[in-house]
Amino acid sequence: MPRSYLYILLFVTLLLITGIALAEGRELTVMTYNIKSGLGTDFKVDLDRIARIIRASGADLVGLQEVDRETTRVGGIDSAKYIAERLGMNYVYGPNLSARGGEYGNAILSKYPIRYAQNIKLSKQAFYEQRGFLLAEIEVGEHQLYFASTHLTHNSNKLRVKQVRDILEHTAKIKKPLIIVGDFNDHAVTTPIMLMTREYNDALNLARLMADYDHLSYQQLIDGHLTFPTTNPQSRIDYIFLSEELMLSGARDSFRVIQSDGSDHLPVIARIVLPLDHSPQLDVGIVVSGAMEEWSKKLKLNYQEVIDNAAQLLTDLDYNYQVIEDKRFREIDLSGISLLLLADLRKLSLPEKYRLGNYLLQGGKILALNQVGIKPEFWDSTGFLQLLGINYLGWNNLRPLHGFICKRAEHPIWQGVSDWIRIENNQGMVVGMVEESRVLGDWYNDFRTMPSHPAYKNGAIIETENSLYLAANLFSGKNYHDQDVQRLLSNCLAYLLQGQTGVE
């Protein structure tokens, strides 16, 4: 199998695990909490304490497990109703078995209207407790989503596998966003949890990939996420799973375990953002980088000129476009944008790279120039650069290198354009190519007498199925004001958007 296909396969696999793409819309805080009937570490049943813990968390949707209704151990109280009333929340209850004069099961609390609920009994073996999957449809403003609370058996791994398969079977036909929370009674690297992560994103995995890995040790990535037992946590068995439309917010505390004493489990919360219901319909989105703007100011470069020149060219070509700041880029739905123009984007985050890679895999087009966050970072397994057809090898502005870009291959982007494109200040990126990329232009020296680098890293214009990468910023300064450069850029846009050149 070609290496680039392996990168794409890796990207798709990791995308199921991460699904990182921050979406515009309403932010929600969701919680999972096994309350053990309200029995705290002080061996006292205190449902008011449970309510206080939930209120302090700011949770909007809560999945509870081990919830009693009218049992002797809670004094005949309907626990879910009692807690919901204390919090002013809506609730549904899903009893799974009879216990101590009452019932025992899962519950859902919601600040938003609950339109529908179903309690699904999971697979059971003789002598084991009946377990359930409580599913509710929630109306959150203009959004509709499903939220589920579950509690799997602790007795048998084989039975947990069956119960997970029950859950996946029942949720397979759900089209709306779905959040599944609960006590799964199993560690992350086990068959039940791996089955779940094939279909849904583990919120902790999203949080880890959004973390600043340069400042976190391996142990720090593990510590702080264990949920059981409360007094000395040794295991992580409580989970929040998200369907692929749902993303974590960009906040540092978008996933956390709350220290508390209300049960033998610790509650877990995640801050998520609901997806857009609409997408801007654009020919081109110009993605603007705040990091690049700051860096340019330090070096006394004119980054705004790059954006202005790109906007002017798109206006002249009568394309429908918008300038999209990188903060907004993380939030909007990209499906209605035909092409993304990336000109000098520094320090793209892992979530942003996942978004761009997914955009390419979904058939979106990218015209990328110069610095597009291509310098490799620790834990960057997104595959985005491989989808662009390149590997980062360095940057160079030493004369006489990078004096010209020379046409290598016949291609529509060269129609009406000189075979030699002069590069201002000899500035450009040095990149290697993956197997499926095609080199359309090479770096040459100031005298046009020899290539700037060995062939494997001398590509200056590189094509893949849905993208063109130009290793120099042709929208900057004197570069852009060259008529051949403008024709080349016009041709690149026309080729990606319509499969034809911009030259009449």
Distance separating alpha carbons of residues 458 and 161, to the nearest angstrom: 52
Structure tokens that stand for 116 in this block:
């529908």
Sign of CA dihedral 39, 41, 47, 53: negative
Q: Which amino acid is at 34?
A: N
Distance separating alpha carbons of residues 497 and 61, to the nearest angstrom: 43
Tally of CA atoms within 13 A in the half-sphere of 425 that contains its CB: 15
Specify which residues 248 forms β-bridges with.
Answer: 272
- Strands of 313-407 (E only): list them: 321-325, 337-345, 365-372, 390-396, 404-407
Map out the domains of the chain as residue ranges.
25-273, 282-498
Tally of CA atoms within 13 A in the half-sphere of 288 that contains its CB: 19
User: In Å, how far from its chain's centre is CA 367?
Assistant: 22
Q: What is the pLDDT of residue 375?
A: 61
Q: What is the pLDDT of residue 460?
A: 94
Q: Is residue 220 packed enough to be buried (19+ CB in 10 Å), middle (13-18) or exposed (0-12)?
A: exposed
- Give the helix ranges, DSSP H, for 381-448: 384-388
Q: What is the pLDDT of residue 338?
A: 94
Per DSSP, the residues of 204-268 read HHHHHHHS-GGG--HHHHHTT---BSSSS--B--EEEEE-TT-EE-SSTTSEEEPP-SSSSS--E
Could you give the angle at the alpha carbon of 59 between the alpha carbons of 228 and 15, nearest 5°?
75
Contact 297, 349 (CB under 8 A): no
b/e map 32-51, b = 16+ CB within 10 Å: bbbbbbbbbeeeebebebbb
> Which architecture characterizes domain 282-498 according to CATH?
3-Layer(aba) Sandwich (3.40)
Structure tokens that stand for 121 in this block:
């009994």
Q: What is the pLDDT of residue 220?
A: 56
Distance separating alpha carbons of residues 439 and 341, to the nearest angstrom: 19
Low-confidence ranges of the chain (pLDDT < 50): 1-24, 213-215, 378-380, 501-504
Q: What is the pLDDT of residue 224?
A: 67
* Among the four given CATH numbers 3.40.50.150, 3.40.640.10, 3.60.10.10, 3.30.360.10, the one describing domain 25-273: 3.60.10.10
Q: What is the pLDDT of residue 376?
A: 57
C-alpha distances (whole Å) from 15 to each of 214, 289, 436 are 22, 24, 21
Specify which residues 45 forms β-bridges with.
Answer: 39
Q: What is the pLDDT of residue 164?
A: 96
Structure tokens that stand for 31 in this block:
């919680």
Phi first, then psi: give them for residue 112, nearest 5 degrees.
-110, 160
b/e map 153-163, b = 16+ CB within 10 Å: bbeeeebbbbb
Distance separating alpha carbons of residues 55 and 116, to the nearest angstrom: 24
Strands 90-99 and 238-242, bridge-based pairing: unpaired
Contact 169, 123 (CB under 8 A): no
**DSSP single-letter state for residue 39:** B
Structure tokens that stand for 82 in this block:
């009692």
Among 399, 403, 396, smallest CA distance to 421 is for: 403
